[in-house]
Amino acid sequence: MSARASATLYGARVARASWLGRLIARATARDLSAFVVPGPEIARARGLDLRAAGLHLSPTPRHANVLVVVGWLPEGLREPAAVAYTQMPRPRAVLALGAKGVSPLPGPDVFVDLDQGALDDGVAKLRRLFAEGAFDPEAESFEAAALRSKTRYACPMHPEVVQDEPSTCPQCGMDLIPREGAAGAGHGHADHGHGGQDHAHHEGMDHDEDTGEDTGGQAHGWLPHPGGAEDEHDDAEHGESGYVEGSGEGHSHEGHGREHGLAHGDAGGGFETREHGGHGGMNHENMDQGTEDHNEEGPAHEKHGDMDKGGMNHGGHESMDHGDMGFMSMVEMTQGTPRSSDGLQMEWVETPFGPLFPGLPGGLSLTFTLDGDTVAQTQAGSAVGARAWEGLNGPVESFAERLAGLDPLSPLSYRLLALRAVESAAGARVDESDALARVGALERERAASHLNWLAGFGYLIGYSWLAKRAEELQLALLRADAEEVAGIRTRVRQFTRRVERTPLLRRKLAGVGRVPDLDRAVGPVARTGGRRIDARLEEETYLPLGFEPVVLEGDDAHARLRARLAEAEQSLGFVEEAGGVSTPGAAPEIDGASGRGAATVETPRGAANLALTLEDGDVTITELETPSARHLGLVEGVTEQRELADALVGVASLDLSPWEVVR
């Protein structure tokens, strides 16, 4: 697909190529803004400098015209990426780096290898493509099967009645009301483990201009998981089976605008409005019906009676007999709902922050239920993690390679983990110089990883200088050879001092991201809670280096920031002492050895444990414990009842890697 013959852009905008068009196309070619999938941190971890290549990074696909896909795209991200693509205004392009196959996405317009030189070439190619083919009268419209939305018909009274054809409800005889849902219903919620998650936010946009594209194809959010768009979700947990399509008959007039809200369960609506507590259905119905006919006609009451029953089935709110009161009771509406911490109940809006959220690592799917701008509930998961560790089993020769591929954010640590576990299983020993070189590589990765985290964190907290400088240092470190590391260490030290002197930084971060359950934490998160936990303490190689972990008090985002900076500097010191940054080679010579082995490596995020059995050159993982898997459980405690920005800072400060988590 990449070998498209002529220089046409798949995502061209439908327009005749006039002189004006050519002018605009040329301008577009010189103004490329990129939305990076899975995320800019992956590009950085792979040593790519997108800015240097001339791409402007955009926080939302709406402002971008190039979708940059870095490396292999895991299954869970393909649909979100395709959604992001549909949400980019045309002309748009896909730039794939390193891997091509990204199924719901169209084939890449430009495909290059994963390195800086190739990236530069790719951007140049992209510019040519834009200059020549940004406007095309015959541009195809992009339509991914999974994204096509489909109109289905539901009964306003009985949400369980959903049919493909317009007809009447078998239970009450009312006309069914159309609503939109995704065709790919098979990708339901259970599949993604997301409970009531839906594409709440960023709904599709109607291409209102000049395109013949099926607007239904755009009916999905980019940040959210484009799963099934049915709205009967999450019933058990929130007792909201009383969802009713509120955008019924009388609802369509544009003049009264907002076709969603409480009386609206349409997944196609912007806000995912959820009822909490046990009496969802009822109030909806009253609202729906209570409009015009209340004061005038009698039959309305009868309807209400009907509905009361309907509601009660779902909610069991016995006393709810306001059919003849003529208005919706706010008291009853708010009665059973969970209270906000400040006692002021606001509507709960479920908002996805991920898997492609610019401030968080790509692939981390976070869903906040917002109560105003306070996070009331949190669901955290990973869209990119492995389905199961079993996928990593296999021949021992390539085992290290496979485990290293697990997490693009810290591949070396996992390679090392694999090697050590295999060696322990086979009873092999590593000589001293090798071990030292490994330490050098591991510590360099630690420093780079911390700087990479810092770049993303700086972006999240709106501290551009920090983000930029951290990125520069990280990229320089990845490209540095052994001699240059010393220079980088000095720069990191200066950087640290500068960060410590930054006004307002402490005020912003102190107290944010406290972990209520520190016992579950490992790595820097635990160490900033004053715990001296570090797998490196037990390693012999570190003894002569005089290793002492960076332990800080504070247990908040600021302490974590300082600790990571200090660790980065410390690690660079070890790299200097180790005298080399060579990556550890392939697995040692193991000839059909069998046995059980276990190893622990202090990855940049904390200790990862691996236990495996080796049998005739085949590896079977019996246990793999990663720091992010442990930390993912901390997210709720860090975010709930926090202001949105604080919650995000808290999550980011944990430095989660969604890649090393089982979905």
Span 430-489, contacts to another protein by CB under 8 A: 459-466, 468
Q: Residues 222 to 241: which contact another protein by CB under 8 A?
A: 223
Q: What is the DSSP letter of 57?
A: E
Residue 583 engages another protein in binding (rule: CB under 8 A): no
Question: Strand order in 110-112's β-sheet?
Answer: 56-57, 33-37, 66-70, 93-97, 110-112
DSSP for 378-412? EEEEESSSBS-GGGG-EESTTHHHHHHTT-TTSHH
Q: Residues 365 to 424: which contact another protein by CB under 8 A?
A: 370, 372-373
- Residue count (the chain): 663
Q: Which of 163, 211, 613, 641 binds another protein (CB under 8 A)?
A: 211
Q: How far is the CB of 273 from another protein (least distance, A)?
A: 7
Give 279 or 536: the residue with its C-beta nearer to another protein: 279
Residues near another protein (CB under 8 A), total:
111
Q: Residues 165 to 204: which contact another protein by CB under 8 A?
A: 200-204
Give 38 or 580: the residue with its C-beta nearer to another protein: 38
The maximal CA–CA distance of the chain, rounded, in angstroms, is: 91
Q: How far is the CB of 326 from another protein (least distance, A)?
A: 6
Alpha helices by DSSP H, 52-115: 75-87
Binding map of another protein across residues 31-70, x = CB under 8 A, - = no contact: x-------------------x----x--xx-xx-x-----
Cβ–Cβ under 8 Å, residues 157 and 314: no
Residue 133 engages another protein in binding (rule: CB under 8 A): no
Binding map of another protein across residues 322-341, x = CB under 8 A, - = no contact: ---xxxxxxx-xxx-x----
Q: Which of 80, 358, 580, 658 binds another protein (CB under 8 A)?
A: 358
Give 207 or 560: the residue with its C-beta nearer to another protein: 207
Residue 494 engages another protein in binding (rule: CB under 8 A): no
Q: How far is the CB of 243 from another protein (least distance, A)?
A: 14
* Alpha-carbon span 208 to 41, nearest angstrom: 34
Q: Which of 9, 25, 73, 376 binds another protein (CB under 8 A)?
A: 25
Q: How far is the CB of 547 from another protein (least distance, A)?
A: 32
Q: How far is the CB of 289 from another protein (least distance, A)?
A: 8
Cβ–Cβ under 8 Å, residues 379 and 195: yes
**Taking the chain, what is the end-to-end CA distance rounded to the nearest angstrom?**
31
* Alpha-carbon span 1 to 297, nearest angstrom: 63
Cβ–Cβ under 8 Å, residues 331 and 337: no
* Alpha-carbon span 277 to 238, nearest angstrom: 6
Closest CA to 227 of 179, 266, 186, 271: 186
Closest CA to 377 of 331, 334, 339, 330: 339
Residue 662 engages another protein in binding (rule: CB under 8 A): no
* Phi, psi angles (nearest 5°) of residue 322: -110, 30
Q: Which of 288, 534, 555, 640 binds another protein (CB under 8 A)?
A: 288
Q: Which of 1, 7, 27, 543 binds another protein (CB under 8 A)?
A: 27
Residue 257 engages another protein in binding (rule: CB under 8 A): yes
Q: How far is the CB of 114 from another protein (least distance, A)?
A: 23
Record the tokens describing residue 216, joined without a space: 């239904």
Residue 319 engages another protein in binding (rule: CB under 8 A): no
Element at 558 (helix H, strand E) = helix 557-578
Give 359 or 606: the residue with its C-beta nearer to another protein: 359
Q: Residues 77 to 96: which contact another protein by CB under 8 A?
A: 87, 89-91
DSSP for 270-309? SSEE---SS-HHHHHHHHHHTTTSTTT-SHHHHHHHHHHH
Residue 299 engages another protein in binding (rule: CB under 8 A): no
Q: Which of 152, 179, 260, 314 binds another protein (CB under 8 A)?
A: 260
Residue 212 engages another protein in binding (rule: CB under 8 A): no
Give 292 or 484: the residue with its C-beta nearer to another protein: 292
* Alpha-carbon span 275 to 286, nearest angstrom: 14
* Alpha-carbon span 643 to 168, nearest angstrom: 46
Q: How far is the CB of 525 from another protein (least distance, A)?
A: 20
Binding map of another protein across residues 631-650, x = CB under 8 A, - = no contact: ------------xxxx-x--
Residue 510 engages another protein in binding (rule: CB under 8 A): no
Q: Which of 113, 191, 209, 302 binds another protein (CB under 8 A)?
A: 209
* Alpha-carbon span 61 to 34, nearest angstrom: 8
